[in-house]
Amino acid sequence: MSEKIITLEAIDPIDIFGVNDKNIDFIKHFFPKLKIIARGEEIKVLGDLDEISLFEKKFHLILTHFEKFGKINETAIIEIMESNENYLNMELNNDVLVHGRNGLMVKARTANQIKMVEASKENDLVFAIGPAGTGKTYTAVALAVRALKNKEVKRIVLTRPAVEAGENLGFLPGDLRDKLDPYLQPLYDALRDMIPTQKLLSYWEDGTIEIAPLAFMRGRTLDHAFVILDEAQNATESQLKMFLTRMGKSAKFIVTGDITQIDLPRNQASGLVQASKLLQNIEGISIITLDEKDIIRHKLVSRIIKAYDNK
């Protein structure tokens, strides 16, 4: 007899299991040869290996349905259970990176965003360089959240240089989280789109997701982590070298930035400009360049960028 344990991630068990395990009891009718036990955030399945494999595929579709539509009922369960193998394969191999809140499906939406996704599969370090609105940060966060949900990493670390505060932050009111908010808000926004509020709060509390200014990275080794450095054009050469050398053996790094919007003092060179030249031919490192064709904000953003490029 084989055994499989499936753990729910970022979903309240009652939403899937139903009140008093009503949904689980209904699902059991479709798998009379299996012993199915729901406890806490886990389901234990015992029985024949082929039957367990089919159950796992069907249960994955139930989770996907819930993430898309925010609910699961007997009608949806029947539809999924009666679906054929071709339907299963089609649904399990779609191009959705993350099923976010309120049915949001996060996908790579442009050619260069797709290149980012493919590059992250093949390389442990990816640079994504391009103008505002091209989805660099959002795609990177989606890749990190997917890796966490798939248990490919144990944590996510998101960082940005806090240029305007001189990496000091001390003069700002409030605790550390309050001081960091103005600089890290785009990262918070992306995470809130992709992870339910209570689960996100628990990730922050237990350190599964960490958001910190670049200066806080010094002296650390980041292992079993998906790490994103955002706004890297505002990291100095020494800061970016420091960050890149934090990479542990089982880590994925993505560095994003816009070299047309450098806020460093004139006497300081951008580390992103230097790194993109120095590291372009190193195996295991991919540099993706996004442009105005990848802009997914208001159509005027693309026109504004073109106007500034042509001045």
Tens digit of each residue's pLDDT (9 = 90 or more) over 14-38: 889 999 999 999 999 999 999 999 9
- β-strand partners of 227: 157, 253
What CATH number labels 2-94?
3.30.1370.10
Distance of alpha carbon 259 from alpha carbon 130, whole angstroms: 7
* pLDDT score for 175: 57
Predicted local distance difference test score (pLDDT) of residue 93? 45
30-34, 65-69, 223-227: least confidently modelled range: 65-69
Q: Is the pLDDT of residue 265 over 70?
A: yes
Which residue's structure tokens are 């050619």? 111
What's the average model confidence in pLDDT over 152-173? 70
Domain assignments of the chain as residue spans, ordered by start: 2-94, 103-309
> Angle between the 176-194 and 136-149 helix axes, to the nearest 10 degrees?
80
Confidence (pLDDT) at 177: 57
pLDDT at 61: 84
Q: Kindly report the pTM of this predicted structure.
A: 0.66
pLDDT at 243: 95
pLDDT band for position 167 (50/70/90)?
very low
Q: Judge contact between 212 and 162, C-beta under 8 A.
A: no
Output the pLDDT for position 300: 74
Nearest to 116 by CA among 98, 129, 100: 129
Please give the Cα distance from 163 to 52 (Å, whole number).
53
Separation CA 208–CA 118 (nearest Å): 25
Architecture label for domain 103-309 = 3-Layer(aba) Sandwich (3.40)
How confident is the prediction for the chain on average, in pLDDT? Answer: 84
Residue 168: pLDDT above 80?
Answer: no
Q: What percent of the chain has pLDDT over 90?
A: 45
Evaluate if residue 163 carries a pLDDT over 80: no
pLDDT digits (tens, 9 = 90+) for 274-305: 999 999 889 999 999 998 878 776 667 667 77
Lowest mean pLDDT, pick from 58-62, 142-146, 240-244, 270-274: 58-62
Residue 306: left if φ>0, alpha if ψ -120 to 50, beta else—which one? alpha
Query: pLDDT tens, 248-262?
Result: 989 999 999 999 899
Lowest average pLDDT, out of 103-107, 114-118, 151-155, goes to 103-107
Beta bridge partners of 256: 128
